[in-house]
């Protein structure tokens, strides 16, 4: 499967724990985007990364959230000290360039905070 | 900020029925418009898109959408649905071509097609 791979599919954390969500882009793609879908809402842009660089993090909460896309390995979305309001579906997309028409999405990670 | 409104949260219909899903957006400038679909257990995938030109856009799997600028709408249609069209459908809007990776999505419409 050469698509965008996200894991885990489901992640359960207790309040105060850390959540790490992983995204492997499509082969040949060097642009990664993270979106979050809160219950009953649409997906909302969080962050756009290229290899080793954060290009646009205007949609990221200022605290507890961070993202990286290292030279080797998947992109990681990290949420520290999770709270119940972080419960959501987190989608990753990748592209060969910063164009919406070229986005390919993964299946998402459903984070549940108890 | 843009907002995208999808009229129906859940639609249930029988095979061979016609489907129309409403989508309205708030942005008044030049927009790029998308419909995405997520089949159960699968990734989001692009059904169709509109950037310019003919406002009636044909997509994959027999879907089409019509951009009506005066109504700020981009409704999705399919004349005759199949059981395999059961999925969640998302309308999305991109602000402009320079950074349209920042899509704004509607809340989604779950479509259930009964065999």
For B60-97, the pLDDT digits (tens) are 999 999 999 999 999 999 999 999 999 999 999 886 55
Is B43's CB within 8 Å of A108's CB? Answer: yes
Helix (H/G/I), strand (E/B), else coil: B10: strand
Q: B100 or B83: whose pLDDT is higher?
A: B83
pLDDT at residue A42 in the model: 86
Is A59's CB within 8 Å of B97's CB? Answer: no
pLDDT at residue B31 in the model: 81
Measured CA to CA, the distance from residue B28 to residue B65 in angstroms comes to 19
Instruction: Give phi and psi for B61, each to the nearest 5.
Output: 60, 30
Instruction: Give phi and psi for A100, each to the nearest 5.
Output: -60, -35
Is B43's CB within 8 Å of A59's CB? Answer: no
Distance of CA A46 to the CA centre of its chain: 8
Please determine, for residue B1, whether its predicted confidence score (pLDDT) is greater than 90. no
Q: What is the mean pLDDT of residues B50-67?
A: 93
Element (H, E) at A79: strand A75-79
Q: Calculate the average pLDDT of chain B.
A: 90
pLDDT at residue B44 in the model: 87
Neighbours of B95 (CB within 10 A): 18
Q: Which of A4, A41, A58 sits opposite B43 (nearest CB)?
A: A4
Neighbours of A85 (CB within 10 A): 9
Nearest partner of B86 among B15, B21, B34, B23, judged by Cα:
B15
Give the model's confidence band at B52: pLDDT under 50 very low, under 70 low, under 90 confident, else very high.
confident
Q: What is the DSSP string of A2-54?
A: -S-EEE-SEEEE-TT--EEEEEEPPTT--EEEEEEE-TTS-EEEEEEEETTEE
pLDDT at residue A57 in the model: 93
pLDDT at residue A76 in the model: 98
Question: Between vectors from CA A78 to CA A24 and to CA A39, what angle results, nearest 5°?
Answer: 90
Determine contact: B27 vs chain A, CB below 8 A. no
Cβ-based contacts of B34 with chain A (< 8 Å): 100-101
pLDDT at residue B95 in the model: 63
What are the average pLDDT values for consecutive 10-residue runs of chain A, which has 114 residues? 87 98 94 91 91 92 96 96 96 82 86 96
If you ran DSSP here, which 8-state letter would residue B67 be given? E
Query: A36 CA to chain B: closest CA distance, Å?
Result: 10
For B3-12, the pLDDT digits (tens) are 899 988 999 9
Cβ-based contacts of A56 with chain B (< 8 Å): 99, 102
Q: What is the mean pLDDT of residues B22-42?
A: 87
Please determine, for residue B26, whether its predicted confidence score (pLDDT) is greater than 90. no
């Amino acid at each position: 499967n050469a698509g965008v791979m996200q894991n885990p599919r489901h992640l359960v954390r207790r309040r105060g724990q850390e959540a790490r969500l992983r995204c492997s882009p499509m082969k040949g793609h060097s642009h990664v985007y993270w979106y979050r879908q809160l219950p009953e809402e649409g997906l909302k842009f969080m962050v756009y990364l290229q290899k080793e660089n954060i290009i646009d993090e205007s949609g990221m909460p200022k605290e507890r959230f961070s993202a990286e896309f290292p030279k080797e390995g998947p992109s990681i979305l990290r949420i520290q000290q999770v709270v119940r309001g972080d419960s959501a579906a987190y989608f990753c997309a990748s592209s060969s360039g910063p164009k919406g028409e070229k986005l390919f999405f993964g299946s998402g990670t459903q984070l549940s905070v108890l | 900020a843009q907002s995208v409104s999808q009229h129906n949260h859940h639609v249930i219909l029988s095979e061979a029925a016609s489907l129309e899903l409403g989508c309205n957006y708030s942005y008044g400038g030049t927009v790029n418009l998308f419909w995405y679909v997520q089949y159960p257990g699968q990734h989001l995938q692009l059904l169709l898109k509109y950037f310019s030109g003919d406002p009636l856009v044909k997509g994959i799997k027999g879907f089409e959408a019509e951009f009506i600028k005066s109504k700020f709408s981009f409704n999705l249609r399919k004349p005759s649905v199949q059981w395999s069209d059961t999925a969640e459908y998302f309308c999305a809007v991109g602000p402009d071509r320079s950074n349209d990776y920042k899509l704004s999505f509607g809340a989604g419409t779950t479509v259930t097609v009964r065999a």
